[in-house]
C-alpha cells in the first residue's frame, strides 16, 4: 500500500495571525448561532432549488475517501493510482520519468519562479531517491522566493493593481501593502481557510491588527472611478464587482451573471445575487475623488434591495443577507446582529466558506493549485463550476485532493508537496505528439508550458546574476521605452531613482492598470480590470521582437556574458557549458558546443570587419580585460540568442 507524504506542521511567519487558530478551533464562539432559522421570506419570486440542481457534480458533497484502484509499480502516491486508472481506461501508455535536470528545473520554476543555480542542480541531480527529493521540495517551499512567485497567481484572481483604472488611473498609494500581505501569508503557509477569512472579514476578526485589515483589500482591488458624477452609481458598481469576484474566486460560481436577471444556466436567482451582495454592503463606502482601500463596517447597516433589471436607480424588494442557495444545502443563515453591534455578516461568511457542508471552497482551490502545476485544472474552467463549466476529468481524484486538503489543515504547501512528488508530475513530456491525448487531459506525459512574462524576466535577471534580493515595499517603476511613456499622462510613471531597484523581482514592479510593463504585456499578463483565473498563451511576433531587440533583453545578455567571462582569457567549451547550465539547467552536447563555437567565431569576424566603436558594441558587463572587444561582444550576442530559444521559454 502506498504511504502518503506525512502531514508536516505548517511554518508560519505571521505571529499576530496565530490568534485565528483559536478562532477556528472554537468555532467562532462569539458569533450568533449559525444554525438559526433562515431569514423571513421577502416578496421575491424565484425558482426553487431542485434535486436535479443539487445533483450537479460541483454541488454534491465531497465523496468519502475510497480505495484507489490497483496501483502501478511506478506509483508514488494516491494521485498516481487514480491517474493510472484513466490510462488503463483510455489505453494510454505513460511517458518515462523525466531526466533529473528536467525535473528539478520544472520544480524550481513551479515552486519559486526561478531557474535552479548550477550549484543547486549539481547537488540535486545526484539525489534522486524519494526522501532526498522530498527534502529538495521542502527546501524550495521554505524559500522566500516561493511566496513571491505563488502570490502572482492569487493577485491575478484578486484583479490586483496599484491604480484605479479608467481615464485618470489614479494611484492607490497603499495598495502594495496587500501584495506584500499575500506574499507573507503564502510564505508562512497560512491555512487557506484563514487566508480566505482574513480577506473577507479581517477587520472584524482582528480589529486591532493592521495586517488583518490590510487583507480586506482583496475585496476592493478591482477597477473604480472615484470622480464619477453619481457616487450612488459608483457604489452600486463596486458592490456588484466585489460580489461577482467573491463568487467566482472563492466559490467557482459566476454569480455575477445574475445581477440583472436570474442566471441563464445555473440555479442562481437575481435575489440570490443581491442577498449575497447584502453581506458586504455595511463594509463598503465611497467618497468622491478618493480611491477605495479597505473594508470598514458602518455602525448602521443599510437596507438592501434587489435592483430591478440591475439598474441602480430602480431599487426593488428588500432582501436580507444570505448565502447562495445552491451552495448552501444546509440552509445556514446569516445571523442578525444585536443592536449597536457589528453586522457580523462577513464573519458569518468567513465561517461558512470553510464549513464542511460547503463542498465548493476546497474543490475550487485544489483545482487552482493543480492548474498551476499542469497548466490546466482537473476542471478546465477554474472559476466556473456551474452547469456550462467543464466537468472534472478525474472527479474522484479532485474530491480526494479536496478532502486531503482539509484533512491537512488547509495547507497549500502540503498539497503542492503531494502533487510535485507524484510520479505523474515527474514524467517526461510528450511534446504534444500523443494522438490519443493531444490536450494532455489524461496526463500520460507532462504537458509543456511556457513561462509567464514575470518568470521570463526574473529568469533573465537571475541567470545574469543581476536579480536583486530586496523584498517588499512600494511598487518599483523601472525604465520604460520613450514611446510607451508618451501614452501616459504627465507624471504617471516616475522611474524609481535607485538603479538597483530596477532589478528586483517582477512581483514588485508597479502594477498600473492602464499600462503593463512591456514583457508582461507581450506575454499575456492580465490588465487587472477583472479577475483572471487562467492566462491566455498567445504566440505573436512582438514576443520575439521584444526578446531580441529590447533594452532589457540586451542588458540581461550583456550581464550574463560578463558573469560567464569573468577571469577568462578566451571563449572556449567551458564557457559554452557554463552558459547551458545557467540557461537550460543541463550540459551542452558535443554538437551544441560545436554550433556555439561556430556562431561565436563568425560573429567575432563580422564585428571585427565592421570595425565599430566600443560604444556601438554589446560589450559584457563587466567588460573582460583579457578578450578582444569583438570576441567579447560576440559572446554577448550568443547569450542574447540563448534567451530567445524555446528551451529557455518553455518548461518540459
Q: Among all chains, which residue has been given the C-alpha cell 475550487?
A: 364
Share of the chain above pLDDT 90, in %: 82
Contact criterion met (CB below 8 Å) for 216 and 196: no
Query: Residue 25 burial by CB count (10 A; 0-12/13-18/19+): exposed, middle or buried?
Result: exposed
Q: What pLDDT, on a 0 to 100 scale, did the predictor assign at position 634?
A: 97
Q: What pLDDT, on a 0 to 100 scale, did the predictor assign at position 489?
A: 85
Assess whether pLDDT exceeds 80 at residue 34.
Answer: no
Residue 505: φ, ψ to 5°: -60, 155
Share of the chain above pLDDT 70, in %: 91
Assess whether pLDDT exceeds 50 at residue 483.
Answer: yes
Assess whether pLDDT exceeds 80 at residue 473.
Answer: yes
Smallest CA-to-CA distance from 250 within 111, 374, 410, 132 is with: 410
Residues ≥6 apart with Cβ < 8 Å to 120: 104, 108
Confidence grade of residue 27 (pLDDT, cut at 50, 70, 90): very low
Assess whether pLDDT exceeds 70 at residue 9.
Answer: no
Domain ranges of the chain: 145-353, 451-546, 549-651
Q: What is the 3-state secondary structure (H, E, C) of 601-621?
A: HHHHHHHHHHCCCHHHCCCCC
Q: What whole-number distance in Å separates Cα of residue 78 and Cα of residue 358?
A: 24
Q: What pLDDT, on a 0 to 100 scale, did the predictor assign at position 506?
A: 98
Q: What is the 3-state secondary structure (H, E, C) of 315-342?
A: EEEECCCCCCHHHCCCCCCCCCCCCCCC
Helix, strand, coil abundance in the chain, percent, nearest 5: 45, 5, 50
Q: What pLDDT, on a 0 to 100 scale, did the predictor assign at position 107?
A: 97
Q: What whole-number distance in Å separates Cα of residue 31 and Cα of residue 345?
A: 10
Smallest CA-to-CA distance from 220 within 297, 307, 159, 306 is with: 159
Q: Among all chains, which residue has been given the C-alpha cell 493510482?
A: 81
Q: What pLDDT, on a 0 to 100 scale, did the predictor assign at position 299?
A: 82
Smallest CA-to-CA distance from 459 within 19, 187, 145, 194 is with: 145
Confidence grade of residue 33 (pLDDT, cut at 50, 70, 90): very low
Q: Lowest-pLDDT range, 58-72, 142-156, 160-174, 224-238?
A: 58-72
Q: CB atoms < 10 A from the CB of 234, how many?
A: 20
Q: Which three cell numbers stand for residue 445?
A: 506525459
355-401 pLDDT tens trace: 998 999 999 999 999 999 999 999 999 999 999 999 999 999 999 99
Assess whether pLDDT exceeds 70 at residue 301.
Answer: yes
Q: What whole-number distance in Å separates Cα of residue 313 and Cα of residue 310?
A: 9
- Give me the half-sphere count of Cα atoms (radius 13 Å) on the Cβ side of residue 363: 34
DSSP-based three-state secondary structure for 429: strand
Q: What whole-number distance in Å separates Cα of residue 586 and Cα of residue 224?
A: 47
Assess whether pLDDT exceeds 70 at residue 12.
Answer: no
Instruction: Report the DSSP beta bridge partners of residue 476.
Output: 509
Q: What pLDDT, on a 0 to 100 scale, did the predictor assign at position 435?
A: 67
- Alpha-carbon distance values, 73 to 1, 56, 88, 398, 422 (Å): 11, 35, 14, 22, 13
Higher model confidence: residue 300 or residue 258?
A: 258
Q: DSSP alpha helices (H): ranges in 438-506?
A: 453-463, 482-485
Contact criterion met (CB below 8 Å) for 376 and 333: no
Confidence grade of residue 43 (pLDDT, cut at 50, 70, 90): low
Assess whether pLDDT exceeds 60 at residue 1.
Answer: no
Buried b / exposed e along 71-108 (16+ C-beta atoms within 10 A) = bbeebbbbbbbbbbbbbeeeebebbeebebbbbbbbbb
Q: What pLDDT, on a 0 to 100 scale, did the predictor assign at position 487?
A: 87
Q: What pLDDT, on a 0 to 100 scale, did the predictor assign at position 68?
A: 77
Q: Which whole number is the average pLDDT over 196-202?
A: 98
Q: DSSP alpha helices (H): ranges in 481-540?
A: 482-485, 518-522
Assess whether pLDDT exceeds 60 at residue 64.
Answer: yes
Confidence grade of residue 30 (pLDDT, cut at 50, 70, 90): very low
Query: Residue 173 burial by CB count (10 A; 0-12/13-18/19+): exposed, middle or buried?
Result: exposed
- Give me the half-sphere count of Cα atoms (radius 13 Å) on the Cβ side of residue 131: 0
Q: What pLDDT, on a 0 to 100 scale, did the predictor assign at position 13?
A: 44
Q: Which three cell numbers stand for residue 151?
A: 502570490
Confidence grade of residue 42 (pLDDT, cut at 50, 70, 90): low
Contact criterion met (CB below 8 Å) for 441 and 87: no
Assess whether pLDDT exceeds 50 at residue 239.
Answer: yes
Element (H, E) at 416: helix 412-420
Instruction: Report the DSSP beta bridge partners of residue 97.
Output: 427
Q: CB atoms < 10 A from the CB of 435, how many?
A: 7
Amino acid at each position: 500500500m502506498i504511504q502518503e507524504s506525512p502531514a508536516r506542521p505548517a511554518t508560519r511567519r505571521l505571529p499576530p495571525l496565530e490568534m485565528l487558530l483559536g478562532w477556528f478551533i472554537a468555532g467562532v464562539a462569539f458569533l450568533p448561532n449559525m444554525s438559526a432559522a433562515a431569514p423571513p421570506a421577502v416578496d421575491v419570486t424565484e425558482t426553487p432549488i431542485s434535486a436535479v440542481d443539487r445533483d450537479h457534480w460541483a454541488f454534491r458533497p465531497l465523496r468519502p475517501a475510497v480505495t484507489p484502484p490497483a496501483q502501478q509499480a511506478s506509483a508514488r502516491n494516491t494521485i498516481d493510482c487514480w491517474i493510472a486508472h484513466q490510462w488503463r481506461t483510455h489505453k494510454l501508455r505513460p511517458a518515462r520519468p523525466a531526466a533529473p535536470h528536467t525535473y528539478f528545473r520544472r520544480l524550481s520554476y513551479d515552486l519559486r519562479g526561478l531557474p535552479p543555480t548550477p550549484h543547486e542542480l549539481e547537488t540535486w541531480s545526484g539525489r534522486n531517491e524519494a526522501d532526498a527529493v522530498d527534502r529538495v521540495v521542502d527546501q524550495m517551499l521554505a524559500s522566500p522566493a516561493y511566496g513571491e512567485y505563488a502570490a502572482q497567481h492569487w493577485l491575478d484572481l484578486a484583479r490586483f493593481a496599484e491604480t484605479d483604472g479608467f481615464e485618470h488611473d489614479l494611484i492607490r498609494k497603499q495598495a502594495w501593502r496587500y501584495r506584500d500581505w499575500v506574499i507573507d501569508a503564502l510564505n508562512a503557509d497560512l491555512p487557506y481557510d484563514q487566508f480566505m477569512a482574513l480577506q473577507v472579514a479581517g477587520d472584524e476578526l482582528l480589529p486591532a491588527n493592521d495586517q488583518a485589515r490590510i487583507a480586506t483589500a482583496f475585496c476592493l482591488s478591482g477597477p473604480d472611478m472615484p470622480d464619477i458624477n453619481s457616487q450612488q452609481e459608483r457604489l452600486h458598481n463596486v458592490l456588484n464587482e466585489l460580489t461577482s469576484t467573491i463568487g467566482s474566486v472563492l466559490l467557482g460560481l459566476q454569480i455575477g451573471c445574475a445581477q440583472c436577471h436570474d442566471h441563464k444556466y445555473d440555479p442562481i436567482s437575481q435575489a440570490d445575487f443581491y442577498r449575497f451582495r447584502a453581506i458586504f454592503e455595511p463594509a463598503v463606502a465611497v467618497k468622491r475623488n478618493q480611491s477605495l482601500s479597505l473594508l470598514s463596517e458602518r455602525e448602521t447597516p443599510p437596507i438592501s434591495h434587489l435592483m430591478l433589471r440591475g439598474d441602480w436607480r430602480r431599487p426593488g424588494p428588500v432582501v436580507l443577507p444570505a448565502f447562495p442557495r445552491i451552495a448552501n444545502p444546509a440552509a445556514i443563515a446569516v445571523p442578525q446582529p444585536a443592536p449597536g453591534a457589528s453586522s457580523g455578516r462577513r464573519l458569518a461568511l468567513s465561517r461558512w466558506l470553510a464549513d464542511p457542508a460547503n463542498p465548493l471552497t476546497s474543490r475550487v482551490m485544489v483545482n487552482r493549485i493543480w492548474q498551476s502545476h499542469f497548466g490546466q485544472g482537473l476542471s478546465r474552467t477554474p472559476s466556473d463550476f456551474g452547469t456550462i463549466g467543464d466537468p472534472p476529468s478525474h472527479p474522484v481524484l479532485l474530491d480526494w485532493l479536496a478532502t486531503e486538503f482539509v484533512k491537512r489543515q488547509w495547507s497549500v504547501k502540503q498539497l503542492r508537496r503531494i502533487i510535485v512528488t507524484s510520479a505523474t508530475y515527474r514524467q517526461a513530456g510528450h511534446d504534444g505528439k500523443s494522438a490519443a491525448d493531444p490536450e494532455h487531459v489524461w496526463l500520460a506525459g507532462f504537458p509543456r508550458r511556457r513561462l509567464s512574462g514575470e518568470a521570463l524576466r526574473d529568469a533573465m535577471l537571475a541567470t545574469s546574476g543581476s536579480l536583486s534580493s530586496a523584498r517588499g515595499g512600494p511598487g518599483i517603476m523601472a525604465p520604460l521605452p520613450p514611446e510607451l511613456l508618451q501614452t501616459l499622462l504627465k507624471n504617471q510613471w516616475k522611474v524609481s531613482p535607485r538603479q538597483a531597484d530596477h532589478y528586483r523581482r517582477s512581483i514588485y514592479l508597479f502594477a498600473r492598470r492602464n499600462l503593463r510593463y512591456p514583457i508582461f504585456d507581450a506575454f499575456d499578463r492580465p490588465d487587472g480590470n477583472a479577475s483572471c483565473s487562467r492566462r491566455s498563451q498567445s504566440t505573436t511576433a512582438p514576443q520575439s521582437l521584444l526578446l531580441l531587440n529590447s533594452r532589457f533583453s540586451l542588458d540581461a545578455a550583456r550581464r550574463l556574458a560578463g558573469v560567464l567571462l569573468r577571469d577568462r582569457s578566451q571563449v572556449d567549451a567551458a564557457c559554452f557549458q557554463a552558459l547551458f547550465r545557467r540557461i537550460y539547467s543541463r550540459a551542452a552536447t558535443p554538437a551544441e558546443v560545436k554550433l556555439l563555437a561556430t556562431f561565436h567565431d563568425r560573429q567575432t569576424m563580422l564585428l571585427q570587419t565592421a570595425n565599430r566603436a566600443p560604444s556601438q558594441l554589446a560589450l559584457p558587463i563587466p567588460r573582460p580585460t583579457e578578450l578582444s572587444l569583438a570576441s567579447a561582444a560576440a559572446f554577448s550576442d550568443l547569450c542574447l540568442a540563448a534567451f530567445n530559444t524555446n528551451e529557455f521559454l518553455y518548461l518540459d
